[in-house]
Each structure stands twice: as structure tokens, then as C-alpha cells.
Structure 1
């Protein structure tokens, strides 16, 4: 490759990279999926750990109130 062809390739890459940086549309379906999956994980974890956490809280309150 000669110098002019390398410069052309570099210009094309800079142009393509600039277009990617200026694209502000984002990936809405991806963010929706991440949000829904996170909410689902919170619900599952809360369902599994909720009773144990409630029991732990009640024990802590009863110990503090016992004094």
C-alpha cells in the first residue's frame, strides 16, 4: 500500500467513526430488555429472600425493644 491509499483508508475510518459518535438514537430495545430483566431479578430475589429478611428485621427490632 502506498501513502495515498493509507490516507484514504484513514479518512474513511475517521468518517465512519465520527458518524457512530454522532448517532444519538441509542438502543431502545436493548435498554427495555435490560430494565425488564432487572425488574424480574428484583422480584425473584425479593420473593425468595423477603420472608427471611422480614424475620431478621423482626428479630432485630425485638432485641432492641427488649432493653
Structure 2
């Protein structure tokens, strides 16, 4: 019982310290998320009217024609 508890505590300590190679790179993921949002805005702002028109046409063709 004590050995299992000790092993669990050691595993938890390793995980908190960040020794896990599966943990990932948080600042890298934040940068990717921010850059993706900026890219979406860069595309959306100049082409908003065309995108809205295309989506409306697609929805109209699905709902009106069968």
C-alpha cells in the first residue's frame, strides 16, 4: 500500500515538474492559436461580403432545391 502511494506521488511530481515529453510546448501552441486567429481575420475582413454571399447561396440551394 505504501509503495503504491509513493509511486503515485513520484509520478505526480514528475508530471508537475514537466518532465513528461508528451506535455507539449504551451507557448508554441499559444503562438499558433494567435497566428491562426490573425490569419482568419486577415482573410475575413477584405472578403467578408463574398464569403457571406457564398454561404447564403449555398444555404439557399440546399433549402430551396432538393
Query: Which interval holds the TM-score relative to the shorter structure?
Result: 0.3 to 0.5
Between 1 and 2, higher relative CO (CA 8 Å, sep ≥ 6) is seen in 2
TM-score by length of 1: 0.46
Larger Rg: 1
TM-score by length of 2: 0.46
